[in-house]
Structure formats: structure tokens, C-alpha cells
Amino acid sequence: MALNDIGIDLGTTSIIIAMEGKGVVLNQPSIVAVDTRQNKVLAVGDDALAMVGRTPSYISAISPLKDGVISDHMLTRELICRFIRKVNASRIKPRVAVCVPAAITGIESDAVVEAVIAAGARQVYLIDEPLAAALGSDIDITAPEGHMIVDIGGGTTDIAVISLGGKVKSTSVNVAGNTFDDEILKYIRVKFNIAIGQRMAESLKKQVACCPELDFHGEMEIKGRSLITGLPQRLTITTDDLYEPVCMLVEQIGTAAHQVLEKTPPELAGDIYSQGIMLTGGGAQLKGLPEYMSKALKVKTRVSSDPVNCVALGTSKSLSMETRLETGFVDATPHLSHFGRR
């Protein structure tokens, strides 16, 4: 593997880039600041996020990836190009592996590959998220034994049973980190008549929310606008207050995982019972989730040692294993018309 080979986790909320031997070299929000008068990109990533709420009305902060799919091809291309050029100072064109959203279409795959080529890559590979997550969690996916990955990202949760370098059974559901934020925001609005922002909802998810299976009780003071008086209001939210939206969403993830297990060949199901289930992605950090999954599926469940970065790390690692990976990993460079086939 060349020293400047690059692995990219193209996520709904953030783009993470890793390089073999260097680890994660970039982790920035998937946000683009655009001057709507001239349709001109002003900034991307952290620089774009810093402009939110501090700019004239004609400057918009746009997330070109939503719910696991690319909603704006041109801005996604701009993000990828700028970030690759930022981390690759070498004159030698790199090979680039990209972990793409599970629900991506062939046309969207083409857009990603074209962006990577435009940024100076000599070769582009596409890899499925569960494969990358397993590799980044130091699981030997080429062995003749079954492993189950539940990758909870920002826009989607991807679930797969992996063996001999490829996917055996898999599914994807539109319940993930951003869904938890949205449901907590709605729940606070309905139950307490207070409107809060997305960042406040995310803070509640990270600091207070928990599955009932774990004995944890936290609280946090929120600040928002009363829907009754229209005035600013403060309120303390506890873990118990959030059980309803949290339980509703984790049950959907648990049900999807259960359905995949039901379709898994008996020999591989036995391996999973012995090996356990691996949770990856930012959403895997929800308190009590491993305990909930272990109880719901009757299989021990644990969180990857680096759940946020493991997909990017596994994507970069895949470039040194290309001959041993089967379904879910493809060289997308030669035939533009076939980029989307995985």
C-alpha cells in the first residue's frame, strides 16, 4: 500500500479521512457555506460551521448529504475535492477508497467517483459501510466465520453479517443519530411546550439519554422558547423524561438486527452467538445501547474501541486488502457506467 493512499468515510454529518500508518488526518462537518447571490462556495467543514448564525441572510449553510443519500451532487463534489487536497500534499496521485452511504444510487456513486478523480486520485474504490466498520474494529473479516456489525451513523443504520471477506446478509434502516436528535426535539416540544434547537437536542442525546437497561440517571438544564408565552424558558430534563423517544428508536434498530439474524445461515448464526455483535458509528455511543441489544437479541453486544473513526480507519485499511475482499468492495475507476454496482 502506498503511503499516500486515502480512506474517506463520507458521512451524513461529518467527513472523516484516514491514511494507513497515520490514522485519522481529518474530521470535519459535512457542511458547505454558499453565497446564494452568486451561487459561490465560500467555505466547507469547520470553516462553514463557524459561519452559521453569524452571516448575512444571503449566505446559507448547506448539508449536501441527508439521511444517508447525496442531496446535492455539486456541493458534495466540492467537499470531497477540498478535503482530499487538504490532506494530500504529495505530487503522487493517491489511490482513494470511499465508504459511501448505504442508500446511495448509481448516479450518486458516479458523482462521488468523479469528485475523487477531480481531486487528483489515480484510482477509486467504493466500500460498504459495515465492511469498513468491521475492518476498522480489527475484525478479521476474511476468516470463514460469521461476524455481525450494526453501524449507527448520522443518517442510516447499516446492519450486516460478514464472512470470508464479504456480506452474507444485510439491511439498512433510516434510524440513526440524526433521528434521535429530531425525535428528542419533537418530544420536548410536545411534552413540555418548549422549542429547542438541534444542537440542544444533540446535547441531550449525548449527556442525558439512555436505554432503560442501564442504571444511569442524568439531568441537564435546557434553554428554549416557551410555545405558550413566546418567552425564553429554562427547564431541567432527566433521563427518565427521554425514555419514550429513545425506546421507540432503539426498538426499530433491534427489530432490524433481529430480522437479519433470522435470515442468517445456522453455522454463521452460531459464530455470531459465540463472537457477539459489534456496534460501530457515532450512534453506538448512546448509553445503555449494548445492554439493550444484548437483552433483545440474546447475544452479547459490545461497542467498537473507536466507534466514530472505525469506518474511516477500515476504509483506508481496505486498500491493502483489495484481493481478499469480496462483495461490498469494488474498483470503481475503469468504467464510469458501473460505479454504482456493488
**pLDDT tens-place values along the chain, 342 residues long:** 567 899 999 988 899 999 988 999 999 999 999 999 998 999 999 999 888 767 788 898 898 988 777 888 889 889 998 999 899 877 888 999 999 766 678 888 888 888 888 888 999 999 999 999 999 999 999 999 999 999 999 989 999 999 999 889 999 999 999 999 999 999 999 999 999 998 899 999 999 999 999 999 999 999 999 999 999 999 999 999 999 999 999 999 999 999 999 999 999 999 999 999 999 999 999 999 999 999 999 999 999 999 999 999 999 999 999 888 877 888 998 554 444 444
Main-chain dihedrals φ then ψ at residue 142, nearest 5 degrees = -85, -10
Separation CA 95–CA 179 (nearest Å): 34
Say which residues have a Cβ less than 8 Å from residue 25's Cβ, sequence separation at least 6.
Answer: 17, 18, 19, 87
Q: Please tell me the pTM assigned to this model.
A: 0.90
Main-chain dihedrals φ then ψ at residue 112, nearest 5 degrees = -65, -50
**What are the sequence ranges of the domains in the chain?**
6-131+311-338, 142-175+246-306, 178-242
Q: Grid coordinates standing for 138?
A: 480489527
Separation CA 64–CA 72 (nearest Å): 5
Separation CA 214–CA 211 (nearest Å): 6
Give, to the nearest 10 degrees, the angle between helix 243-262 and helix 289-297.
Answer: 40
**Contacts of 185-194 spanning 24+ positions with Cβ under 8 A:** 186/245, 187/242, 187/244, 187/245, 188/222, 188/224, 188/237, 189/227, 191/241, 192/235, 192/237, 193/226, 193/227, 193/228, 194/222, 194/224, 194/225, 194/226, 194/227, 194/233, 194/235
Hunting for cell 472505525 — which residue is that? 310
Separation CA 277–CA 258 (nearest Å): 12
* Measured distance between the N- and C-terminal CA atoms of the chain, rounded to whole angstroms: 22
Asked if 75 and 115 count as a contact pair (C-beta separation under 8 A), the reply is: no
Domain spanning 142-175+246-306, CATH architecture: 2-Layer Sandwich (3.30)
Domain spanning 6-131+311-338, CATH architecture: 2-Layer Sandwich (3.30)
The confidence score (pLDDT) of residue 21 equals 86
The confidence score (pLDDT) of residue 336 equals 45
**CATH class label, 178-242:** alpha beta
Q: Grid coordinates standing for 278?
A: 459489534
- Same topology between domain 6-131+311-338 and domain 142-175+246-306: yes
The confidence score (pLDDT) of residue 334 equals 52
Give the chain as a 3 state SS string. Answer: CCCCCEEEEECCCEEEEEECCCEEEEEEECCEEEECCCCEEEEECHHHHHHCCCCCCCEEEECCEECCEECCHHHHHHHHHHHHHHHCCCCCCCEEEEECCCCCCHHHHHHHHHHHHHCCCCEEEEECHHHHHHHHCCCCCCCCCCEEEEEECCCCEEEEEEECCEEEEEEEECCCHHHHHHHHHHHHHHHHCEECCHHHHHHHHHHCCECCCCCCCCEEEEEEEECCCCCEEEEEEECHHHHHHHHHHHHHHHHHHHHHHHCCCHHHHHHHHHHCEEEECHHHHCECHHHHHHHHHCCCEEECCCCCCHHHHHHHHHCCCHHHCCCCEEECCCCHHHCCCC
Q: Per-residue pLDDT tens for 303-340?
A: 999 999 999 999 999 999 988 887 788 899 855 444 44
